[in-house]
Structure 1
């Protein structure tokens, strides 16, 4: 079984990071507002990044890491710009 970490763009332009073992079902839940909380008040949402992981713990760790990232770093992740992600990480460490 695969597990997923994912990033959504909400209608208000904010980003939401999460994890799941069924990305299609989770997207349906976000779309209907079934989960409540953050995304239910910011529909519609769009899946902008998703990665598979072999374990739930790894997917959860990725979600937690991404939640701590700046908007610029999340956007670099969506673009697959690993050099920019690394640059932004260095800038933050030097701050």
Structure 2
């Protein structure tokens, strides 16, 4: 079964509740990052991505909350390639569990 989540629902999977899976969205594709909780969970170096759409942050290589959006309108070809590399890495490591719906 594929989940469809709004950004608000996704935000509830930020790792703050250990009983819930930890999700990250990239270009609307939701990954279950629970296996990487030490990296993406609270206190982890990439915790800012948890429970959010983070395509822009990955493309621009920024680990700040203001970059956690899906806006790629001003991304360069190189930044889009960087994002594609991250997507491939995530797909090889973490299960895809659903898609991000519009709010």
TM-score range, shorter chain: under 0.3
Which structure shows the higher strand fraction? 1
TM-score by length of 1: 0.26
Which structure shows the higher helix fraction? 1
> Which one has more relative contact order, counting CA pairs under 8 Å at least 6 apart?
2
> Whose Rg is larger?
1
